[in-house]
Amino acid sequence: MIETVTVPAESFSDEERERLALHFTNLDRPVFGLVNLPETVKGALFARYSRYQGTLRRLFLDEFADSVPEVPPIEGAEGKRAADLYERIFLGYGDDSVAQLGGAHIACEWTSNLLTKLLQRPRLAAYLEQSTRYIAYDDRLQGFGYRYHRDARFGPQYERALDDVFDTYHRLLEQTTVWVGDRFPRGDDESPAAHARAVRAKALDLVRGLLPAATLSHVGIYGSGQTYEQLVLHLLAHPLAEAQAYGQMLLEELQRIIPSFVVRVPREDRGGRWIEYLRERRGAADAAVHRLGLDEPAGPAAPSVRLVRAHGTEEELLAALLYESAASGEEDALQAVAALSRDEQAALLRDLVGTRENRRHRPGRGFETLTYRFEIVSDYGAFRDLQRHRLLTCQWQRLSPDLGADLPDELVRAGLGGEYERALEVSRSEYERLRADGFVEEAPYALSLAYRIRYVLELDAREALHLIELRSGREGHPSYRAVAHELRRAIAEVHPNVAAAMTYVDEETEERLERLLSEMRNDAKRRPRRRSRGSSRGRSRTARTAFRHGRGRPRSTRASAVSAARSRRASSTSCPRGRPAGSVATRARPAPASFLRASTRCHSRARRPRRCRRRSRRGTRAPERRPPRRAP
Ligand SMILES: Cc1cc2nc3c(=O)[nH]c(=O)nc-3n(C[C@H](O)[C@H](O)[C@H](O)COP(=O)(O)OP(=O)(O)OC[C@H]3O[C@@H](n4cnc5c(N)ncnc54)[C@H](O)[C@@H]3O)c2cc1C
């Protein structure tokens, strides 16, 4: 059975409904398709989404309706010829790729930050999501309240806790805006409006870590039929009720626009079996993780970037770059390159990369022969941004408070750190309560974006160059800028000439970025360089770190860990798809109230580079010369 979701209601006047009806597949649901519009207008609507506070249909009325050219309406029906053809070759012969030949623009509104990541998981689609840097999420919608995902099963405590976090976000946003305005006075060459926008963006950046993962956003998707088929199947198979509800709504809208491409999904023997397979696959992984004792939190609580493995050598890179111009085979190219001295190889690579006038001038496909698998711990906010990159493999774990949270230094200096930490603690407590009540999948809704998540990015050197240069830009958020810098540093250790080709990495740092980099580098130093699987030395080290930060038991108390894990498992297996199942065991997880302080402020003090410590001893700094920049 498909669950339902509670979303804010939107109302339109009769005249507005008439204007909208031709261009949107429905006017009363949060998932709808864009039809009878020029392709560029659909794209423009999505492009504006990022910084527009409202919904897409309202945006259309506000900004586009008056200038839309007359387009003859296209009936939703495909006609007999096309429908028969798809019936034969898509459904009959199983020629999947024909579903790549047509697509649709679909908007998914009022989606939680957990769901946005699921919607953006398919790689062969284009996405746009509302920004947390330009939009304040502190408005109370009429008849709904703050913008967060609701579920009656979570009880009134959930709404009390999340209202508290949003109230704090609202207060801190106002206070931080004033503080940033004082600290970054307007330059003579800057207009008051531009300065106010830049100040607001900086303040939004500083407080966005408070927003819970339940925060509702809008996502625009442009994808092919094949991508949508996969997306719907994965959503329907997902344990979150919200994902299932959106999967069903998405399917219904696609059936109006590209019915033949999603024809397999509702058939029990096709889509039905596929969904079962996806669930079985997930179940098998969960069971194996439990059997192997991998379901207990382990690993560093600081932000970190670790190169798990790299494939390929710089000689192989050179041979691959020469390959398409050569008439001989790869082996010959490898031999010719191996005969060169190190300096000659480095010079050849510089030649083959050529003069890059801007970051869009990318080296050739040969760069794709080198690959890197990185394991990253960063706040959820940075993960949200990095997960949007398409040409890589991104795998992420469930969001939890086990890896600690990040507290921006500026908020501490503004005297707002205590309030921020208190709200994070409210968010963590609500997470723990939901988990203890059996809502294992749903508990992360309550967690703020400042909490850290562990994930993998596996990518080739060409995509690494693109991602690192783009994400190091000073317009970006310090938390993902820090990841970008560390990715390059790790690549430089194995492939120095590849790192040297990344000439558009923005080196300019600022205090928060420096602090994050310092935490990541200290973490890399502390970590044993080669930890063999099951090594007792590695384990006891991890255990001490975990215990110090109050986020679990030392690994040596294996018996109690396993029994706690079992009682959790009992709660999750007795509640299919995370639904409450009467009485469940409460988690035995010691979490002292000082937890946040330990995992945020202690880090920032103990691991701050000497240069920063000296600076803070000198007291408050004079206002910055450079005003905060506005991201594109
Ligand atoms: C400062 C900043 C602010 C941002 N703000 C927002 C925001 O408010 N909202 C938001 O949703 N996103 C935002 N983004 C994310 C951005 O829109 C992209 O999602 C992200 O940068 C990854 O896309 P990419 O195409 O650059 O690179 P990748 O996904 O890494 O792809 C690499 C390359 O592959 C090619 N490629 C990838 N996908 C396609 C495709 N579908 N069709 C054709 N070619 C493709 C392109 O050449 C691309 O450069 C922001 C990014 C930055 C740096």
From atom 14 of ligand 1, which residue's Cα is the shortest distance away?
A: 385
Given a cut of 80, is residue 542 above it in pLDDT? no
Q: Which atom of ligand 1 is nearest to the CA of 467?
A: 30
Number of H helices, E strands in the chain: 24, 8
Select the more confidently predicted residue: 346 or 606: 346
- The pLDDT of residue 134: 86
From atom 52 of ligand 1, which residue's Cα is the shortest distance away?
A: 476
Average pLDDT rounded to a whole number, residues 544-554 = 29
Helix (H, G, I), strand (E, B) or coil at 250: helix
> pLDDT tens digits for 407-433?
999 999 999 999 999 999 999 999 999
Evaluate: CB of 460 within 6 angstroms of ligand 1.
Answer: no
> For 99, which DSSP code?
G
Report d(CA 52, CA 166) in Å as an integer: 20
| Weakest mean pLDDT among 26-40, 177-191, 491-505 | 177-191
- The pLDDT of residue 582: 26
Average pLDDT rounded to a whole number, residues 563-578 = 33
Gap between the terminal Cα atoms of the chain: 43
Report d(CA 306, CA 123) in Å as an integer: 24
Band (83; pLDDT cuts 50, 70, 90): confident
Residue 599 contacts residue 551 (beta carbons within 8 Å): yes
What separation in Å is there between the alpha carbon of 499 and the centre of ligand 1? Answer: 21
- The pLDDT of residue 528: 56
Label the pairing between strands 393-396 and 304-311: unpaired
- The pLDDT of residue 222: 97
Given a cut of 70, is residue 570 above it in pLDDT? no
- The pLDDT of residue 561: 32
Q: 97 Cβ partners below 8 Å, 6+ apart?
A: 226
Residue 252 tokens read as 């219904």
- The pLDDT of residue 133: 82
- The pLDDT of residue 214: 98
Closest CA to 462 of 375, 376, 360, 366: 366
Residue 327 tokens read as 């008439």
Residue 288 contacts residue 470 (beta carbons within 8 Å): no
> pLDDT tens digits for 271-291?
999 999 999 999 999 999 999
| Residue 249 host element (H or E) | helix 241-257
Q: Which residues are bridge partners to 378 per DSSP?
A: 453
| Weakest mean pLDDT among 77-91, 411-425, 579-593 | 579-593
For tokens 């439990």, the residue is: 290
Q: Return the number of other C-beta atoms located less than 10 Å from residue 472's C-beta.
A: 24
Q: What is the DSSP string of 526-565?
A: HS-SS--TT-HHHHHHHHHHHHHTTSS--TT-HHHHHHHH
- The pLDDT of residue 41: 93
- The pLDDT of residue 536: 31
What separation in Å is there between the alpha carbon of 403 and the centre of ligand 1? Answer: 28
Length in residues, the chain: 632
Evaluate: CB of 468 within 6 angstroms of ligand 1.
Answer: no
Report d(CA 236, CA 251) in Å as an integer: 10
Report d(CA 148, CA 214) in Å as an integer: 5
Q: Which residues are bridge partners to 305 per DSSP?
A: 376
Q: What is the DSSP string of 136-179?
A: -----BTTTBSSB---GGG-HHHHHHHHHHHHHHHHHHHHHHHH
Evaluate: CB of 555 within 6 angstroms of ligand 1.
Answer: no
Band (95; pLDDT cuts 50, 70, 90): confident
- The pLDDT of residue 527: 66
Q: What percent of the chain has pLDDT over 70?
A: 81
Helix (H, G, I), strand (E, B) or coil at 393: strand
Residue type for 544, please? R
Average pLDDT rounded to a whole number, residues 117-141 = 93
Q: 619 Cβ partners below 8 Å, 6+ apart?
A: none
- The pLDDT of residue 486: 97
Residue 181 contacts residue 419 (beta carbons within 8 Å): no
> pLDDT tens digits for 341-395?
999 999 999 999 999 999 999 999 999 999 999 999 999 989 999 999 999 999 9
Q: Return the number of other C-beta atoms located less than 10 Å from residue 102's C-beta.
A: 16
- The pLDDT of residue 620: 31
Evaluate: CB of 467 within 6 angstroms of ligand 1.
Answer: yes
Report d(CA 535, CA 544) in Å as an integer: 15
For tokens 């697509």, the residue is: 103
What separation in Å is there between the alpha carbon of 169 and the centre of ligand 1? Answer: 28
Q: Which atom of ligand 1 is nearest to the CA of 128?
A: 11
Given a cut of 50, is residue 1 above it in pLDDT? no
Q: What percent of the chain has pLDDT over 90?
A: 67
Select the more confidently predicted residue: 496 or 83: 496
| Weakest mean pLDDT among 123-127, 496-500, 519-523, 581-585 | 581-585
Handedness of CA 298, 385, 470, 411 (dihedral sign): negative
- The pLDDT of residue 608: 33
Evaluate: CB of 389 within 6 angstroms of ligand 1.
Answer: yes
What separation in Å is there between the alpha carbon of 332 and the centre of ligand 1? Answer: 37
Given a cut of 90, is residue 405 above it in pLDDT? yes
- The pLDDT of residue 512: 76
Given a cut of 80, is residue 626 above it in pLDDT? no
Report d(CA 535, CA 146) in Å as an integer: 48
Burial (0-12, 13-18, 19+ Cβ within 10 Å), 257: buried
- The pLDDT of residue 558: 32
What separation in Å is there between the alpha carbon of 310 and the centre of ligand 1? Answer: 24
> For 504, which DSSP code?
T
Residue type for 48, please? R
Evaluate: CB of 390 within 6 angstroms of ligand 1.
Answer: yes
Q: Average pLDDT over the chain, rounded to whole?
A: 83
Report d(CA 17, CA 613) in Å as an integer: 60
Helix (H, G, I), strand (E, B) or coil at 221: strand
| Weakest mean pLDDT among 282-291, 480-489, 622-631 | 622-631
Label the pairing between strands 125-129 and 216-224: antiparallel
- pTM above 0.85? no
Given a cut of 90, is residue 449 above it in pLDDT? yes
Average pLDDT rounded to a whole number, residues 49-69 = 92
Average pLDDT rounded to a whole number, residues 585-603 = 27
Tell me the angle at which helices 610-617 and 511-526 cross, rounded to the nearest 10 degrees: 140
Residue 239 contacts residue 578 (beta carbons within 8 Å): yes
Report d(CA 168, CA 188) in Å as an integer: 34
Given a cut of 80, is residue 605 above it in pLDDT? no
Label the pairing between strands 452-460 and 393-396: antiparallel
How far, in whole angstroms, is CA 217 from its chain's centroid? 13
Average pLDDT rounded to a whole number, residues 456-485 = 95
